[in-house]
Amino acid sequence: MTGNGPPMTLLELSGIHKALGHGSGRVPVLRDVSFAIGPGEVCAITGASGSGKSTLLTLIGLLDRPDSGRLLFEGENVARATADRQASLRGRRIGFVFQSFHLLSRLTALDNVALPFLYRGLSPRACRGRAEAMLHRVGLADRIGHRPDELSGGQRQRVAIARALVGRPALLLADEPTGNLDSAAARHILDLFFELNAETGVAVILVTHDPGIAARCPRRLTIEDGRLTADGRQAP
């Protein structure tokens, strides 16, 4: 980057509103939420259960649409993009990691990680080659042939992270990724997020109710009753 201009924005939300339910039973969940995320940034979203943080993540991940407001991803107003365009962006530019892993039980770690490439129509051999390299990177070189039920919780989450990052997305969304892990495994998974962020430049947005995990993130957004109430950055 040259000059003194502002850094490029990867993600920008402006005046986002979202309600859930139908008719007179609709309940506001997000109210006038606005913030921006830069390339390579690591950010925690915190808040009590029911505050709206998971709903916010589904909007950012293009799994749902806001009722109003703008959601720009790499400069494109994706809130109004077609369903096909949103699906393409989810598959190529956004990775997902969930608390419950969402691995296919009948597939090995290798084939679980290869799935995103198989969906793109690449040859199985090429898919498995990239998947194997990613599993090596997350420390599972000796587990590539194991199915999820043969892995520990921490190992399963590493498989999920490998699957999320094998396509080299610009943004990784993690919803309570350590919620099913013991404290040691949770610490190792968070370390891995930071290592992969430093190596690949992927931006990370992590939803957590754990203040200890949030405290390790350089930036913390707090959601209360659907509103963004705090946006804090740690000193470098």
pLDDT digits 0-9 by tens, 127-171: 888 899 999 999 999 999 999 999 999 999 999 999 999 989 999
In a domain, 108, yes or no: no
In a domain, 183, yes or no: yes
In a domain, 186, yes or no: yes
- 47 within 8 A of 228, measured Cβ to Cβ: no
In a domain, 54, yes or no: yes
List, in order, residues 6 or more apart from 214 with CB less than 8 Å away.
Answer: 44, 46, 208, 220
Ramachandran assignment for 190, one of left (phi > 0), alpha (psi -120 to 50 degrees), beta (any other): alpha
Total domains in the chain come to 1
- Please say if the pLDDT value at position 103 is more than 80: yes
Identify the CATH number of the domain in which residue 35 sits.
3.40.50.300
In a domain, 114, yes or no: no
- Domain of residue 31: give its range: 11-102+169-233
Q: What percentage of the chain reaches a pLDDT higher than 90?
A: 74
In a domain, 177, yes or no: yes
